[in-house]
Amino acid sequence: MIFVLPLLLLAVAAVLGIVAGHRGADAARPDDRPLALPPVDAPDATSPSCTRLLAALPATLTASPHPVPRLPLAAPAPAGATAWAGTAGGDPVVLRCGLPRPPELTNSSALIVINGVSWLDLSQPGRDTFIAVDRPVYLAVTVPRDLGTGPVQTVSDTVRAILPATN
């Protein structure tokens, strides 16, 4: 009888540890519910360039600490848009294609080149927003900073492969 209580407590502790471990794994898993995106001005969102790009984008983006899957968009989904999950409870990665020329883009704008694509960096605290400015259409990708640079690198690879440079 003396050994029953310690064994019972050990069994309960093991079960609680397993349950907590599963909850922790769920908390680290990105959200995969349909994402509602508001419409934005994107006059070229239905262009052949955007259609080809959206079809070629990968189902998963490289990110830190783990890759993030593409999310379904809630209806009505705006044309020219797609998204990938962020970390659990975090903002998603959002790509919008067919945007108008950004007013921040001038002859003296500092651009960064990522994997062969020229981007205008419009980053804000907590997230990085890059607008591709050397392709037939303008497109923006917004990445939560906690995901690292992998998402914009992966998007750049696809942009470079699908859309010819215009400059």
Q: List beta partners, residue 95.
A: 82, 141
From the number of C-beta atoms within 10 Å of its C-beta (0-12, 13-18, 19+), residue 155 rates as buried
Q: What is the mean pLDDT of the chain?
A: 84
pLDDT at residue 17, rounded to an integer? 32
Among candidate residues 31, 35, 29, 32, the one with its CA nearest the CA of residue 65: 29
Residue 22 pLDDT exceeds 90:
no
Tokens representing 43 are 């006059």
Average pLDDT of span 11-34: 42
pLDDT in tens, 136-157: 999 999 999 999 999 999 999 9
Q: How confident is the model at residue 1 (pLDDT cuts 50, 70, 90)?
A: very low
Residue 122 has pLDDT above 50, yes or no: yes
Q: What is the pLDDT of residue 31?
A: 56
Q: What is the pLDDT of residue 32?
A: 62
pLDDT of residue 90: 85
CB neighbour class for 14 (10 Å; exposed up to 12, middle 13-18, buried from 19): exposed
At residue 95, the 3 state secondary structure works out as strand
pLDDT at 18 over 70: no
- 7, amino acid identity: L
pLDDT at 102: 97
pLDDT for res 166: 95
